[in-house]
Amino acid sequence: MDLEEFRRHGHALVDWLADYHKTLAGRPVQAPTRPGEVRSILPAEPPEAPEAFEACIADLETIVAPNLSHWQHPRFFGYFPANALLAGVLGDLVSTGLGTVGLSWQSSPALSEVEEVVTDWVRKMVGLSPQWVGVISDTASTSTLVAMICARERTTDYGLAKGGLQAEGRPLVVYASAGSHSCVEKGALLAGFGRENIRMVPLDDRHGMRPEALQELIEQDIAAGLRPCAIAACVGGTATASIDPIREIADVARRHGLWLHVDAAMAGSAMILPECRWMWGGIEGADSVVINAHKWLGAPFDCSLYYVRDEQHLMRVMSTNPSFLQSSVDSHVRNLRDTGIPLGRRFRALKLWFLIREQGVSGLQARLRRDMANARRLARIVDATPDWKVVAPVHLQTVCIRHEPGDKAGDALDEYTRVWADAVNRSGEGYLTPAMVDGRWMVRISIGAPGTEWADVAAIWAAIQRHASASLKHAPPSLEAAGR
């Protein structure tokens, strides 16, 4: 492909994307794809000779788009908003097109310094003190693993430089909110702690971690000869967007010298709203915080921000300095390679830089406020509807609901909940994610795709009622029996 062809095909693809977004609202939100369907269309062998690029473009409309669940769709209410705002999309195009790789500062000075500046912008936007330093990574899962490893190394006084976790006597213990994301347990397991040394701290009736239960678990472990090491708390838990009391947890962490990691992957975006900052009150007492700019804020995936108070510690744990990466300016610059697991990095800061500038802080704030108002409005309507319940506090943009007709309870209610959610998803009218809370299934309505207005929320609510009612009447075969 020469540069004139690149221009031509590039324009065509920009137009294809614009058309895709234009027609998005008319597409089924959940892919109607059967397992293996896409694989069966594609050739099993790579092409020996070049194909015309037009064929690739044509496959987008016939093979790719019909077999995607559309995260940017105005009636996408699944998982979490993973917004790819258009200014960010264009920023990312430039990043890819420049083809520059951040290995050392010298290998791409603008990449390093724009990342420094933009992560500092976000620090200010969310109200963190100047003691915090941020870096961009791919996902919160990765940052959480890094946090677990950094906690491990602080407690063991850099055991990695000696015998590692294999030479420590008393086992180290990690404490996680029972409402925390699965990546916390996974991070602790990958870091070598072992499942026997992970405690899930019980929640209160609003699904926040109980600090006194945390304190109790720590004391028990100390009495048993173990070494408490780290606490993972969350602001905006995955299932219900629940909130752990960070200030009280930070007090416990300080008292016992534990690392406190706060997962604000989803809710961190809302901290750009001063009225939401109570949710992480006491955050200055944490050691690390993760905020996914690729979620509600709108930077295209992946763009996760990891903030730490002790950057030197992070670099001591993560640094590498082989000869081929040394440059004559090393002592004058910050080498981002020493802040995470991958050595190289994309110019991810570019999409975040473009996004914040094109939207302005005020523009980002207005969109988030729109989504929160829509969530509150929906919650009021659901609460006022007979047999329907909002099953968790609506702090942000996630509304957790259940239909509880008189004759359904226990496992039958669980089955019914999953059946009607699946019916909504299969209809293509909206995408919902069922999840468990207090041992029972409910359905999350996660509001906040870029184009989601009140009319879309009203439409999914109507669809939910309709499909729930039909599921009650027709008593469809159970999910298992239907093989779905």
Q: Which of residues 356-415 bind a second copy (CB under 8 A)?
A: 356-363
Q: Are the C-beta atoms of 195 and 203 separated by less than 8 Å?
A: no
Tell me the closest approach of the beta carbon of residue 406 to a second copy, in angstroms. 25
The set of residues, in sequence order, having a beta carbon less than 8 Å from that of 114 and lying 6+ positions away, is: 347, 349, 350, 353
Beta bridge partners of 136: 305
The closest of 216, 273, 268, 280 to 243, measured between CA atoms, is 280
Tell me the closest approach of the beta carbon of residue 471 to a second copy, in angstroms. 14
- Closer CB to a second copy, residue 1 or residue 412? 1
What does the DSSP 8-state code read for residue 294? I
| Helix residue ranges per DSSP H, 407-450 | 410-427
Tell me the closest approach of the beta carbon of residue 314 to a second copy, in angstroms. 12
- Cα 294 to Cα 92: distance, rounded to the nearest angstrom: 12
Q: Are the C-beta atoms of 294 and 303 separated by less than 8 Å?
A: yes
Tell me the closest approach of the beta carbon of residue 247 to a second copy, in angstroms. 27
Told to check if 325 binds a second copy by CB under 8 A, we report: yes
- Cα 230 to Cα 465: distance, rounded to the nearest angstrom: 44
**Which one of 190, 200, 213, 458 is in contact with a second copy (CB under 8 A)?**
190
Judged by DSSP in three states, 119 sits in: helix
- Cα 93 to Cα 280: distance, rounded to the nearest angstrom: 34
Compute CA distances 40 → 33, 34, 63, 469, whole Å. Answer: 12, 10, 11, 37
Around Cβ 362, how many Cβ atoms within 10 Å?
A: 8
**Which one of 49, 223, 384, 475 is in contact with a second copy (CB under 8 A)?**
49
Per DSSP (E only), the strands in 138-281 are: 172-177, 198-201, 227-234, 259-263
Q: Are the C-beta atoms of 84 and 301 separated by less than 8 Å?
A: yes
Q: Which of residues 427-466 bind a second copy (CB under 8 A)?
A: 433-436, 441, 444
- Closer CB to a second copy, residue 250 or residue 464? 464
- Closer CB to a second copy, residue 257 or residue 360? 360
**Which one of 194, 281, 405, 476 is in contact with a second copy (CB under 8 A)?**
194
Tell me the closest approach of the beta carbon of residue 201 to a second copy, in angstroms. 17
C-alpha radius of gyration, the chain, whole number: 24
Told to check if 176 binds a second copy by CB under 8 A, we report: no
Q: Strands of 440-446's sheet, edge to edge?
A: 76-77, 431-437, 440-446, 398-403, 388-390
Q: Which stretch binds a second copy (CB under 8 A): 17-25, 202-210, 454-462, 464-472?
A: 17-25
Give the binding-site size for a second copy (rule: CB under 8 A).
166
**Which one of 244, 371, 422, 429 is in contact with a second copy (CB under 8 A)?**
422
Told to check if 354 binds a second copy by CB under 8 A, we report: yes
Q: Are the C-beta atoms of 298 and 127 separated by less than 8 Å?
A: no
- Closer CB to a second copy, residue 20 or residue 459? 20
Q: Which of residues 19-38 bind a second copy (CB under 8 A)?
A: 20-22, 30-31, 33, 35-38
Indicate the burial class of 182 (C-beta count within 10 angstroms; 0-12, 13-18, 19 or more): exposed
Told to check if 100 binds a second copy by CB under 8 A, we report: yes
Told to check if 127 binds a second copy by CB under 8 A, we report: no
Q: Which stretch binds a second copy (CB under 8 A): 203-211, 337-345, 405-413, 453-461?
A: 337-345
Q: Which of residues 54-93 bind a second copy (CB under 8 A)?
A: 55-56, 60, 63-65, 67-72, 78-79, 82-93
Taking residues 102 to 121 in sequence order and writing x for each that binds a second copy by CB under 8 A, - otherwise, the string is -x-xxxxxxx-xx-xx--xx
Q: Which of residues 243-282 bind a second copy (CB under 8 A)?
A: none
What does the DSSP 8-state code read for residue 135? E
Q: Which stretch binds a second copy (CB under 8 A): 184-192, 200-208, 255-263, 465-473?
A: 184-192
Tell me the closest approach of the beta carbon of residue 185 to a second copy, in angstroms. 8
Taking residues 277 to 306 in sequence order and writing x for each that binds a second copy by CB under 8 A, - otherwise, the string is -----------------------xxx----
- Closer CB to a second copy, residue 20 or residue 458? 20
- Closer CB to a second copy, residue 285 or residue 306? 306
Name the residue type at position 307.
Answer: Y
- Cα 319 to Cα 160: distance, rounded to the nearest angstrom: 12
- Cα 102 to Cα 116: distance, rounded to the nearest angstrom: 13
Tell me the closest approach of the beta carbon of residue 152 to a second copy, in angstroms. 7
